[in-house]
Amino acid sequence: MWDPHASEAQYHSANNFRTIQHCESYCRDTCSRGSPQYSGEPRVNVERPVTSCASSATCGNDFQCASVGSQHLCCPTPVSICSSKGGRPHDITPRSTIFHPGFLVTTGRETVRFYYDTTTGRCQDFVYRGAGGNFNNFLSRHECELYCARCKFRHNASYLCTSFKKI
């Protein structure tokens, strides 16, 4: 959703479009949840998404090969999304919670969101500050449960997710 009150580009989320057509054309060629794996170049400004994986074996840990439009992207696995990592390789600032509350910006509002808690195996609510955070962040408990309910916590601290399409 476009925020006309955001005075500068830095206050806009990357997930912020003026029209539904712009949103759909931009978002159809990316991972369904989370950011694709990047090439890992020494300088961040030359990194590019990995767009030609042949199988999940060619993707890094926490990623799986997915057919997205005309590309094959290494997208975050549901296990990675539904874990405390939230589909991100690392946090900029350390946190003591499973969920990531994000941060408050001048145009943002705090809202209730849901995250998958691997210790309880359930979706829990938290107060989201309106910007940033990670991808273990769902608009509703139902959306969280639909995405993460297939992930079952095992006593040896590993996870098993079923029924996710892999290439």
Q: Tens of pLDDT along 89-126?
A: 776 777 778 788 888 877 778 899 999 998 888 999 99
pLDDT score, position 140? 96
Helix-, strand-, coil-residue percentages of the chain, each rounded to 5: 15, 25, 60
Q: What domains, with CATH codes, occur in the chain?
A: 9-161 (4.10.410.10)
Q: Tens of pLDDT along 116-159?
A: 998 888 999 999 988 888 999 999 999 999 998 776 655 544 55
Q: Tens of pLDDT along 13-30?
A: 566 677 777 766 666 678
User: pTM for this one?
Assistant: 0.71
Q: Tens of pLDDT along 48-67?
A: 888 888 888 889 888 999 98
